Structure 1
Amino acid sequence: MVLMHTDEDVLSPGSTPAPAPAAAGVAEDDPRWKRNVAVFLTGQTVSLLGSMLVQFTVMWHLTILTQSGSVLMLSIVFGMLPQAFVSIFGGVWADRHDRRLLIIGADTTIAVATLALALLMLSGVDDLWVIYAALAVRSTFAGIQTPAVSAMVPQIVPATQLIRINGINQSIQSGMMLLAPALAAAIYANFDIVAVFFVDVATALVGVGLLLLVRVPRLVRSDAGAPPSYFGDLAAGVRYIRSHSAVRWLMTMFAVTMLLIGAPSYLTPLMVTRTFGEEVWKLTANELFWASGMLAGGLLMAVIGPRIRNRIALVVGAMLAAGVLTTGLGLSTSLWVFFVLGLGVGTTFTLMSTSAMSILQETVEPEMQGRVFGFVGIVMSVSMPLSMVVFGPLADTYAVESLLVVAGVLLTAFVAVVLAAPSARRSLSRLT
């Protein structure tokens, strides 16, 4: 659990208290929680595999077809901006309705919409707008699914096991990132992008079927007797984040990292094709090294995460390391050095994101988590397209190498500003 200080310990006059630790959704001695978590993670893994196949194949398809930073920018905008808008509503829905049913409904709708789009492309309509439409549909319903998933995890996992389960989940996701590029390359090379859409439909339905087997404890809100008000819930979420500076700073740090690391990571395939060659194996290897780094970070958190006393220090240190390594990516002239540095960035990003998510899950009250993670989803969804709006067109004018150096230096400078700002240090000191 997060060790919270009393107000007198860390608060200056006029400051707001840190959020109290969230109550556990399930007891650790409940024999059913491991079974529920295993079924849940299995279903999410199968569904995630299909999503990753689409992600990699679309990125490669557009890169090889156009070699345009602007096209990649549009794919990110269509793939993430709808999620940012819908997350405003998705977070409130996750606090007002059955989170499991929201996940099931979103996954099912994505499967139906993806099937329709695949059939449309199969009929001969294969313009870029069809791909953009597919990304937009998936992103829209991800805005419903993502905050519900993040908020449901503390309901089925004991509080003392959250960081371990998050680490295991991140390791599984990273393992899928090792498998997905190879599988995506095989399907794409032997069939086409339509075949990948069909595979995604099948994996989504498997994930839905397994989630139906998971028992989720009923969430009882502290304001259960109050008349339901959607916009009242939304306003309460805004007030909560505004009044808790520790949560606000943590989300700001996450946003800046996504802004300065997320988009440049999407441009690394462009750098590979321009600088090191267009062979598919090089694009695949690039993804494998990044995924291996994320896998290593997830495994580290699963093994040693519960023993880390000061996780906010880990968040800050990982951000600093990511900035330095990203600068190194832009300076590297060797393909294999480039791959190894990508592995390092993947590791540090996972250490930061897993720690940050665990802190929020342990700290934010259960009945507020849907709204808070809805805003986290907005941060993640807006940061990437915004970053690509800047970096994508620049990649058509300047070398990707120079953009990576700029991104790394800016992230390193931001960490220095955070460490130098007394208000930031005071706020973050409430989290460990």
Structure 2
Amino acid sequence: MHMQWKKTFALIFSGQIFSILTSSMVQFSIIWHLTETTGSAAVLMIAGLAGFLPQALLGPFIGVWLDRWNRKITMMVADSVIAFSSLVLGIYYLWGEPSLWVVYAILLLRSTASAFHAPSFQAAIPLIAPEEQLTRVAGWHQLVFSASSVLGPALAIAVYSATSLGTVLLLDVVGALIANLMLLLVNIHQPKPEIIQTPSFQKEFILGWKAFLSEKSVVTITVAMAVFSVVFMPLAMLFPLMTLSHFGRGGYSASLIEAVFGIGMILGGALLSVLASKWKDSTYMSLSLVVIGLTCLLSGIIESHAFILFVVLSFFMGAAAPLFNGPYMAMIQKSYEPEKLGRVLSFVTSIGLLSSPIGLALAGPIVDRFGVQIWFFWAGIVVILIGTFIKLYFIGKENKHVGQGSI
């Protein structure tokens, strides 16, 4: 039994590696293609909104269905929809250039399917792995995503340059089919849904929201994560601008920063999977945020000739990221019953996604007026404060429990 869950995860993860990698390739290739063919920031903005808004808007509601449905089948259907959308768009590009509205529609469909796939996969993990192994499994998951973030763009541009965008999209079809094949080979226990007690969608939605609010620690971390998303998510678009405008370097240097950040994430995920049981989840999360904050702050004050230092800081920033994401997800998985976990994960995901546009809206005018480094600097200050708050919050909680136990 001890080895069985590891075999199950080996099969699932081997399939997910192909699916996540090819999806990363598609994401990069589409943005690259739209940039090359239109050169329009408005086009890229609409494509970005099409790619994440369905997940943000549908997230709180689809959790109700996820807790009713078979999670393995939900993942397979979602992957199949993503494969179908890639197939349709791939055929369009092999025959010619589709209209932008076709591209937007396909991105909307892919995002909608992803809104079901991601939380159903996370909600399935506690049904397979022992509770004491959830943080380690979260480290594996972060490792897969981090590796894809490094390899995906590199492979995408190689295939795109040698063939076409259509070929990249067809590879995504293959990746989804491999993921589904691996899921067919495993058995995932399905928790009994609470249909008798809560027969209506509205009641289940409210039940999921109340379940989320019942764990004060998770709510506190989620609010902190939302603030973190506001200041940190814009950095994804500001990294290239920092490289070009502050350091005066070109596309090669910008791609180097992306690669170094991704490599840091890989090593951070590997470190988490090895040292998962050494510290408490809250310790990893607070340490992660303090390190990320310090690297952002230093990036905001370094001179224009110190590009190598920026490379080093980007590496440590990437390495620290999984130390928050993995333990945060493991904490959620440990805190809720499996039959409610899908709804809770949907709420959490949507809160993070809905926070990001706020940061993007704020970052644009601030950076245009004061320069890119000002956002790095103050983002670093805010993130350090969040990390410190999380540490102090859990110290206070532990002291309260000790005090109650001595009475």
Per the normalisation by structure 1, the TM-score is 0.83
SS in 1 for 2:352: helix
1:6-405 map, 5 Å = 29-62=1-34, 72-126=44-98, 128-221=100-193, 223=194, 225-226=196-197, 228-276=199-247, 279-308=250-279, 310-332=280-302, 333=304, 334-392=306-364, 394-395=366-367, 399-405=371-377
> Shift of residue 105 of structure 1?
0.6
**Change in 2 beyond 3 A, CA 1:215/1:423:** closer
Whether the 8 Å CA contact 2:31–2:44 is kept in 1: the answer is yes
Distance in 1 between residues matched to 2:163 and 2:399, nearest whole Å: 50
SS in 2 for 1:246: helix
> Shift of residue 156 of structure 1?
1.1
**Change in 2 beyond 3 A, CA 1:346/1:59:** farther
Distance in 1 between residues matched to 2:278 and 2:190, nearest whole Å: 30
**Percentage of pairs with the same residue:** 30
Alignment-mate amino acid for residue 136 of structure 1: L
Distance in 2 between residues matched to 1:31 and 1:313, nearest whole Å: 29
> Shift of residue 118 of structure 1?
2.7
For CA contacts below 8 A with separation 6 or more, give which structure has more relative contact order: 1
> Which runs of 5 or more structure 1 residues have no equivalent in the other structure?
1-28
Whether the 8 Å CA contact 2:282–2:390 is kept in 1: the answer is no
Give the number of the structure whose residues are more often helix, by fraction: 2
> Shift of residue 407 of structure 1?
2.0
Which residue pairs with 2:405 in the alignment?
A: none
**Change in 2 beyond 3 A, CA 1:208/1:344:** same
Distance in 2 between residues matched to 1:68 and 1:413, nearest whole Å: 37
**Change in 2 beyond 3 A, CA 1:423/1:287:** closer
Whether the 8 Å CA contact 2:215–2:335 is kept in 1: the answer is no
RMSD across aligned positions (CA): 2.8
**Change in 2 beyond 3 A, CA 1:272/1:418:** same
Distance in 2 between residues matched to 1:129 and 1:331, nearest whole Å: 42
Whether the 8 Å CA contact 2:50–2:108 is kept in 1: the answer is yes
- What whole-Å deviation, never above 9, does each CA across 1:82-139 have from its counterpart, x for those lacking one? 1011212321122111001111111101111222223334444455544433332221
> Shift of residue 235 of structure 1?
0.5
> Which runs of 5 or more structure 2 residues have no equivalent in the other structure?
402-407
SS in 1 for 2:330: helix
**Change in 2 beyond 3 A, CA 1:405/1:67:** farther
**Change in 2 beyond 3 A, CA 1:278/1:321:** closer
